[in-house]
Amino acid sequence: MSTSHQSKSSQPKSSAPTDPYTRFVRSGPGAAIATRLGLPRPAKLPRRDDRREAVLGPVVVLGASAGADQIAAHLLDQGADVRRRFDGLRTVGSVVAVMDELANPADSAEILLPLAGAMRSLARGGRIVTISRPATGGDQSAAIEAARGGVEGFVRSLGHEVRGGATANGILVADGVALDAPSVLGALRFLLSARSAFVDGQFVTVSTAEGSLPADPARPLAGRTALVTGAARGIGAAIARTLAADGARVVLLDVTAAGTDLARLANELRGIPIQLDVTAADAPARLVEQCRAHDVVLDIVVHNAGITRDKMFANMTADRWDPVIAVNISSQIAINEALLASGEGTAPSVLGAEPRFVSLASTSGIAGNRGQTNYASSKAGVVALMPALARSLEAVGGTANAVAPGFIETEMTARIPPLQREIARRANSLQQGGLPQDVAETVAFLAGPDAGGIRGETLRVCGQNLVGK
């Protein structure tokens, strides 16, 4: 995999579309032809460098609960242009619908239907975010459970309807957690920002009131140290650059064969390179040793290392199955165990307080993908690992979450046959492939101090589709 997000300032950069079709239909003649024939015209997605403001205004906060007032007050404190109605607005930048007190399915109409009349006023790259309570599986009354479940159906459908690079997402806040909890506000900030460009039709679940708002929102990871595996190229390099841009010191791990790229990236980011095969039996112990040798305490651990060995299952062999499982899931388990055990005995732990673990899953692990039984098995294992790892980290205030990319423009996806690749690009709500930067931004959000109440979750970065990576 590769990425073009390079600069001397280590700041992630937005890229021009990489596929010829998108370049064509954004041109004058191509746009006219696409309009006449009814062809998809993917909108340019504003990313970090395209839109710096945290909230695209004006932002309309819907809802009459005390929680809605808290959200409006917070956005005002952030300098946003906040309104409580659509009256007089020709353009709407963002909408936050607060539905934390729904008691009956009919209650949502009063909050949501004013938005229907304003949909055509939503700005390009606009944001719609709902804030509600999750269905509990039976702990609440039938009417409450149905009302809460209905919000999820609404958001996922709306995500398919918004146009112009706009997105619709939701935040589910557990009962007992206030809407001004750090992770609620952190999730809201992320979903309203340009950093969530390829996240659509998704929900972030906040299960606890843990976490803290960063002292400097522009550098939320300042003073923290992050390990990124598989860091030399592609999504891994984009993650490293984004974490560094957010203020983190980075430790970059990859295999010896990637040593040149690894050294170049380490020099660019002033990071620490470690050449290591994560599947080696002694890899976990050597990683701990390297951390101690460099006097490194890890606050963030990003498991990005991954490989594919695609083949129809009827032709699957051990030499294709075993390495995928070893790299994509078994190595994570072994490294996690070594890091967690590093503080046992007299030696100090190489893990910092309240560590953040973020693993790369895939939509293949959620929906499956033809020819990827081995890869999908490994990535489904990552998804299932997160709740268990999160529980083991509770005692130290740590978190574990996963990011599941869909179709991302990388060297890996460039090897997909052209017709299949083009179908995969268009088969999502945003009608285009994502960029490595999109995955990196989501990893950085989950690694931040204001994600402390998000635990054991998997957040899809797929433009709202289930397509193999």
CA atoms within 13 A on the CB side of 228: 30
Q: Which fold has domain 59-206?
A: Rossmann fold (3.40.50)
DSSP letter at 273? E
Distances in whole angstroms, Cα of residue 61 to Cα of each of 179, 412, 425: 13, 41, 33
pLDDT at site 52? 83
Which tokens sit at 45?
């997605």
| Beta carbons within 8 Å of 92's beta carbon, 6+ residues apart | 58, 60, 86, 118, 121, 122, 123, 126
DSSP letter at 416? S
pLDDT at site 9? 36
pLDDT at site 18? 62
pLDDT at site 96? 98
Per-residue pLDDT reduced to its tens digit, 48-99: 999 988 899 999 999 999 999 999 999 999 999 999 999 999 999 999 999 9
User: Do the domains at 59-206 and 225-461 have one common CATH topology?
Assistant: yes
Per-residue pLDDT reduced to its tens digit, 219-243: 999 999 999 999 999 999 999 999 9
| Closest C-alpha among 234, 281, 273 to residue 255 | 273
Per-residue pLDDT reduced to its tens digit, 167-222: 999 999 999 999 999 999 999 999 999 999 999 999 999 999 999 999 999 999 99
Helix (H) or strand (E) holding 61: strand 59-62
Phi, psi (deg, nearest 5) at residue 369: -155, 135
From the candidates 21, 190, 375, 407, give the one annotated as an active-site residue. 375
Q: Where are the domains of the chain?
A: 59-206, 225-461
Kindly report the CA angle at 188 between 186 and 189, in degrees rounded to 5?
65
Q: Is 375 a catalytic residue?
A: yes
Helices (H), 225-258: 234-245
Q: Please report which confidence band the pLDDT of residue 467 belongs to, taking 50, 70 and 90 as the band edges.
A: low
Please determine, for residue 336, whether its predicted confidence score (pLDDT) is greater than 60. Answer: yes
For 225-461, which CATH superfamily applies?
Answer: NAD(P)-binding Rossmann-like Domain (3.40.50.720)
Identify whether the C-beta of residue 415 lies closer than 8 Å to the C-beta of residue 468.
no
Please determine, for residue 3, whether its predicted confidence score (pLDDT) is greater than 50. Answer: no
Please determine, for residue 15, whether its predicted confidence score (pLDDT) is greater than 70. Answer: no
Q: Please report which confidence band the pLDDT of residue 420 belongs to, taking 50, 70 and 90 as the band edges.
A: confident
pLDDT at site 34? 75
Please determine, for residue 427, whether its predicted confidence score (pLDDT) is greater than 80. Answer: yes
